[in-house]
Amino acid sequence: MLPFDPIDEAAAQWARRWDGVPQMHAVTSLMRVQQLVLARLDAILKPHALSFARYEALVLLTFSSRGSLPLGKMGERLQVHPTSVTSIVDRLEAAGLVVRRRHPEDGRAVLAEITEDGRALVERATADLVGADFGLGALGEGDLRALSELLRPVRKDAGDF
């Protein structure tokens, strides 16, 4: 542990050369917290042989009414590149957590369908994530809601919704 906040120090150095200190400080803090939280989530999911990306894909399939979605639709909903979806589904399929099926109405489309093993794993992994407060245990409920609302305009401006 450092005896000073390195982001505060970087902001002080930044201010000697450039404008935009509040933005630089905020984005650097945001990116560092993203690294910390993702590392925590991946550590929680590692015993389940899952990354957070693969976990999100399984949850998405769990939420779908039929337990299956076209790979293209998964990419849209997960907001990732089609190549990433293919890689995620490849790994999940190799682990027996999803199967690929031809779309019954669109012969060109491929569906990913969650298996019973996949559903069971989602339940176990989710219990561990919830038990660990998704890596955000340092924040209370009010702060978590405020953080989500604070970030909403950035997501909206980027076209998330």
**Residue 39 falls within a domain, yes or no?**
yes
pTM value surpassing 0.85 = yes
| Tens-place pLDDT, residues 102-149 | 988 887 889 999 999 999 999 999 999 999 999 999 999 999 999 999
**Residue 1 falls within a domain, yes or no?**
no
Residue in 116, 78, 3, 161 with CA at minimum distance from that of residue 88: 78
Output the domain CATH number for residue 136. 1.10.10.10
**Residue 11 falls within a domain, yes or no?**
yes
Q: Would you place residue 30 in the very low, low, confident or very high pLDDT band (cuts 50, 70, 90)?
A: very high
Residue 81, domain extent: 6-157
Give the count of domains, the chain.
Answer: 1
